[in-house]
Amino acid sequence: MLQQVATLVALLVLAVTTKSTAQGLPDEVRCNYTRQAVCDSEGCREMELGSSFLVIPALPDLLRPSHQERSAPQLQIRRCDDTGCTPATVRAAASGVFVNVWKADGGYMLKVASETQEPAVIHRGDFVEVATLMLTSIVSHGRCEL
């Protein structure tokens, strides 16, 4: 079941977007997954991590106030693995010590800690990502190399 859901997610993403390379630019950061789970109406189950990772714009680019406005130039993040990267167009806004990133048409959310909170329960670069496919969610945690 987990493998089928992961395959469906990968095929859906490939069907609606184009591939790009995994090469990050100087103003981008890599985010590595440390834990993933697939959740549906029957509950959540751990997933194998595999080779997936994220490439996101650097924090100053994400924190520009204009990126939350509808008319603003859009940002892109890339979800990558051994075979390449799939871009997603997103918006971003600061909320306390976090940067919230989302797809305007729904189905995707990323929350990144922009600073460490003491006691160090939250570290700068920690993130949670939620991606949905129909009524199934993939919930991932990890750390960005900020």
Dihedral through CA 20, CA 104, CA 134, CA 85, nearest 10? 10
For range 6-10, the mean pLDDT = 47
When the pLDDT of each residue in the chain is averaged and rounded to a whole number, the result is 82
The distance between the two most distant Cα atoms of the chain, rounded to a whole number of Å, is 43
Cα dihedral across residues 11, 52, 119, 62: positive or negative: negative
Q: What is the pLDDT of residue 86?
A: 93
- Helix residue ranges per DSSP H, the chain: 2-16, 59-62
Count structural domains, the chain.
1
Q: What is the pLDDT of residues 56-112, one digit of tens each?
A: 999 888 877 654 555 556 789 999 999 999 999 998 999 999 999 999 888 999 999
Q: Determine the structural domain holding residue 124 and report its residue range.
A: 2-144
What the block records as the tokens of 100 is: 């919230």
For residue 74, the tally of other CB atoms under 10 A from its CB is 11
Please tell me whether the overall predicted TM-score, pTM, comes out greater than 0.85 for this model. no
Q: Above 70 in pLDDT, residue 13?
A: no
